[in-house]
Amino acid sequence: MPVSKKLSDIPLSVLDLATVVEGDTVSGAFRRAVAGAQSAERLGCTRYWFAEHHNMESVASAATSVLIGHVAGQTNSIRVGAGGVMLPNHAPLVIAEQFGTLEALYPGRIDLGLGRAPGTDPLTSAALRRSLQGGDDFPNDVVELLRFLDVPEPSARVRAIPGEGTQVPVWLLGSSTYSAQLAAMLGLPFGFASHFAPTYLHEALALYKARFQPSKYLQEPYALACVSVIAAESDEEAQHLATSYYELVLGLIRNKRRPLAPPTEDMSAQWTPAEEAAVRQFAHYSFVGSPSTVAEGLSGFVAETGVDELMVTAHVYDLAARTRSLELIAPLFKTQPIH
């Protein structure tokens, strides 16, 4: 059984997809991302991560390392990173050079989370010039990337410059048990994507902690889980805001992707009963409501999973409402607000 923890025992971090909202532009999404990171920093959050996705009209974080550099340059102390880079899309040397550059520009503030999925559909995967082996090479690619970020061997003929010796913290991220086992074997921190893939959460965390091997990177297992949180002054207001998120997920299910829409008054007119069930399964670990409602749900989640850190994502159309959501939950956690 996981060690029971309280919200006040653990750090709070944020996952952002640089969401494009209906009626706005990609440039607007980047301005929202900067504002979101600055708010998270002010509220004392630990990390602000961006995820690599491609060919999605609502997601502008495809060039993840570029966006990380932009946001890190407009914040001062919060860690900024990838949650994650989809490593099968890239040569490990390229990622080592990119994140080595970021670490040189913003020392001690860069995280590199790695995923083994393409972050897109098969046709787009092919356009990204991915290897036909796909995720099968993931363990070897992770080891190669770690080697490029380490102090180089004197005989090394290929070196990451910049990158070598920076030892940028590397995380393995997943939505199944695969990366949990690999993270345990390599002694790396692990993050689970429970905000969209709830099924294997408990099994993955249990495997990671049971099989963890201490390494030069980490002496004890360190697990993070990401969940969706939309908080507002009342349960009713939060549920109204969440309809934008439900419509976004519904679009994924129907394979009709589009920018994040404004909230709607009546979701019953938007989906069939089967679609509603599918959306709610996707959003199983979504916590929507007033501060007390969200606190109760998150407290249960943390006590149940024993995670060392919680990362939240919020698909909220209005930037002020999204900022307010984070303001309402940050005091529940082990945060250090900037006054």
pLDDT, tens digit, 9 for 90 and up, residues 91-134: 999 999 999 999 999 999 999 999 998 667 777 777 777 555 55
Alpha-carbon Rg of the chain, whole angstroms? Answer: 19
Long-range contacts of 64-72 (CB under 8 A, 24+ apart): 65/95, 65/98, 65/99, 65/102, 67/18, 67/30, 67/33, 68/102, 68/110, 69/101, 69/102, 69/105, 69/106, 70/30, 70/34, 71/33, 71/34, 71/37, 72/102, 72/105, 72/106, 72/109, 72/110
What pLDDT sits at residue 3?
A: 58
CA distance linking residue 245 with residue 196, whole number of Å:
12
What pLDDT sits at residue 56?
A: 87
What pLDDT sits at residue 123?
A: 78
What pLDDT sits at residue 4?
A: 75
Enter the pTM of the model.
0.95
What pLDDT sits at residue 117?
A: 80
Give per-residue pLDDT as tens, 202-249.
999 999 999 999 999 999 999 999 999 999 999 999 999 999 999 999
Q: Which residues in the chain come in under a pLDDT of 50?
A: 2
What pLDDT sits at residue 153?
A: 85
309: CB partners within 8 A, 6+ apart: 10, 11, 12, 13, 46, 222, 223, 224
Domains along the sequence of the chain with CATH: 7-231+285-332 (3.20.20.30)
| 230 DSSP β-pair partners | 288
